[in-house]
Amino acid sequence: AAYMSPEQVVGKPVTFRSDLFSLGIIACEMVIGRNPFRGENIEITSQCILNMKIKSSHFPVSTPSALRKWILRALEKKPERRFNSTEEAADALAKVMTGLPRELDRPLSGWLKATFTGVPFTDSPVWETKKMFRAGAITGAVCMFIVGAGLMYLLGPRIWG
């Protein structure tokens, strides 16, 4: 329930814009480290989805403003205020990625070990670890979006007519 769009919470039909809202939640969670709408139970979670407005100030200062704007647009409560298509959302996210680091300069095995064990990198400076986390979070969000957009492209006509 913590990844539902406001229209899903109230039982309205879902569209690709509902999926964009869910993707916005995932992207927000990757950047701030938690799902901003998750409550102690489904009722509180539903109320948070319907009423809580995510603001730019919720993001770490180091979050690029273009990424904040992308996430905030995906999390608009009114579906018509979100992106007009998955293609528009993908293009906007690609522009956000321009100039941001896309490669991890530490061995992948060390990064995975730190991710799964919770043991931080001791051989890299704090700023570099944060940069790697941010790059990984952004890359993960892009991958999730591409997979979601591909599925919507392939299955969308069957689901939404």
**How is 2-29 classified by DSSP, letter by letter?**
TT--HHHHTTPPP-HHHHHHHHHHHHHH
Task: Say how far apart CA 116 and CA 55 lie, in whole Å.
Answer: 30
Cβ atoms of 26 and 141 within 8 Å: the answer is yes
- Per-residue model confidence (pLDDT) at position 118: 64
Q: What is the CA radius of gyration of the chain?
A: 17
pLDDT for position 159? 62
Residue-wise pLDDT tens digits, 34-92: 899 999 999 999 999 999 999 999 988 888 899 999 999 999 999 999 999 988 998 89
- The DSSP-derived string for 74-140 is HT-SSGGGS-SSHHHHHHHHHHHHTTS--S--S-HHHHHHHHHH-PPPSSS-HHHHHHHHHHHHHHH
What percentage of the chain has pLDDT greater than the value 90?
A: 44
pLDDT at 114: 61
pLDDT in tens, 103-112: 544 445 555 5
- Average pLDDT for 141-154: 71
Least confident span in 24-33, 103-112, 127-136 = 103-112
Side chain identity, residue 69 = K
Residues in the chain: 161
| CA atoms within 13 A of residue 8's CA, in its CB half-sphere | 17
What pLDDT shows up at residue 105? 46
